[in-house]
Amino acid sequence: MKTKICEMLGVEFPILAFTHCRDVVAAVTKAGGYGVLGAAGHTPEQLDIDLSWIAEEVGDRSFGVDIIVPAKYEGKDDGELQVSTLREMIPPKHRHFLDDMMDRYGVPPLPADDDRPRPSGDDSSAPMTYSQAVPLMDVAFSHPISLVVNALGPPPPDMIERAHAQGVYVGALAGKKAHAVRHVAAGVDVIIAQGHEAGGHTGDIGTMVLVPEIVDAVAPVPVLAAGGIGTGRQMAASLALGAEGVWCGSVWLTTLEAETHPVVKDKFLAATSSDTLRSRSRTGKPARQLRSAWTDEWEGPDSPGTLGMPLQPMLIAEASRRIDRAAMNPDNEGAVKLANYFVGQIVGTMNESKHADRVVLEMVDEFIDAIQRVNDMMA
């Protein structure tokens, strides 16, 4: 295929796979697409290990990294507050509500030997802040990436400057035309127009409306369509709307390579497109995820309401680990009910666990069929 994105990134298919799993990045990249590793949940040490592994796996093929640097969050205007200060800002009523939830659902504490790295465990940086992102950028730029993406707001100036100095393209997600225009003015090379249907942080405008609006606003800067895209027909529609490729995230969560929690993966495979909602319960910002007892509790009448970013992810970090660990035991019904994760409305068609490269090739085959169908109509 020949699109601007294919030419820029040197890929066969303009299918960009956002994923937190290095195995998916490698599989999609080797299949002719382009893998982008989500680094928000990584420590710098983990990111270095994963990017080294990916580079070894994919050889001379290119790949990218996604780092979350929000434009707005608690403490930013006060000079990047330390974790200890931010912890003091979490109201006791929120801690009590969460503790009571864990007790009511029978989720046990973490065992003493649970020593997995905790990104916010020191007193230097909080999750999803600029301070946390800088060490991740340092690691990312030490590897042969060709694209770095900021998932929330305009990329900080130093990210753009460092990327361009190394010949790395910069991408940014946009949920409104105004966001996209602001990104381009800042020096962004690729706009990802992410519609309301997407998993994770989304805006209010649907993909079908958003993509052509942004394409027209930022031309000739290339646009990737995102949100509700996981099939070849949706890919064909995206290119017809003016996009130069597609950015897919949710569709990889049920692949055989994905590290998705097995209980959550089973929930995804059984879910319909109506089983998701946008909730602030995981990050403090509206993010589409699977509806579960967890989201119901935070939206319920006894909820104290969610906190802003990064206070909400700091508040729930240990509880999330407890739920994930306990849900590995199917007899712990409470943890199983609470378990959830980010996912888009495309989950309704994610009803079979496949290898990631098969997903890529099926998308391409269906894309060709869709284009041929339209051509036949013209004939």
Residues 280 and 368 placed together within one structural domain of the fold: no
For residue 344, tell me if it sits in a domain. no
For residue 251, is it left (φ>0), alpha (ψ between -120 and 50) or beta? Answer: alpha
Instruction: Say yes or no: 156 and 203 in one domain.
Output: yes
Task: Tell me, yes or no, whether 162 and 133 share the same domain.
Answer: yes
Give pLDDT, residue 120.
Answer: 44
Is there a single domain that holds both residue 230 and residue 271? no
Q: Do residues 171 and 153 lie in contact, with contact meaning Cβ atoms separated by under 8 Å?
A: no
Full residue range of the structural domain in which residue 42 is found: 4-74+124-251+354-378
Residue 345 lies in a domain: no
Domain count, the chain: 2
pLDDT computed for residue 155 by the predictor? 94
- Look at residue 347 and tell me if it is in a domain: no
**DSSP string computed for 255-310:** STT----HHHHHHHHH--TTSEEEESTTTSS-EEEE--HHHHHHHSTT---PPPTT
Question: Do both 111 and 140 map to the same domain?
Answer: no
The reply to whether omega before 157 is within 30° of 0 (cis) is no
pLDDT score recorded for residue 257: 98
Q: For residues 246 and 15, is the Cβ–Cβ distance under 8 A?
A: yes
Q: Which residues of 85-94 are buried (b: 16+ CB within 10 A; e: fewer)?
A: ebeeebeeeb
192 and 68 inside one domain: yes
Question: What is the structure's pLDDT at 121?
Answer: 44
Phi, psi of 112 (to 5 degrees): -65, -25
Q: What pLDDT shows up at residue 89?
A: 93
The CA distance from 352 to 268, in Å, is 10
Q: What is the pTM of this model?
A: 0.93
Q: Quick check: is 26 in a domain?
A: yes
Tens of each residue's pLDDT in the chain, 379 residues: 899 999 999 999 999 999 999 999 999 999 999 999 999 889 999 999 999 999 999 999 999 999 988 776 666 665 666 788 889 999 999 999 999 999 999 999 999 877 665 544 444 567 778 888 899 999 999 999 999 999 888 999 999 999 999 999 999 999 999 999 999 999 999 999 999 999 999 999 999 999 999 999 999 999 999 999 999 999 999 999 999 999 999 999 999 999 999 999 999 999 999 999 999 999 999 999 999 999 999 999 999 999 999 999 999 999 999 999 999 999 999 999 999 999 999 999 999 999 999 999 999 999 999 999 999 998 7
Residues 25 and 147 in one domain: yes
Q: Are residues 140 and 276 in the same domain?
A: no
Q: At which residue do the structure tokens 């109509």 appear?
A: 377
Assess whether 245 and 263 both reside in one domain.
no
Is position 348 within any domain?
Answer: no
How, if at all, do strands 200-201 and 147-150 pair? Answer: unpaired
Instruction: Round to whole Å and give the CA distance between 106 and 12.
Output: 49
The sign of the torsion formed by the CA atoms of 192, 154, 346, 339 equals positive
Same domain, 267 and 369: no
> Is residue 343 a part of any domain in this protein?
no
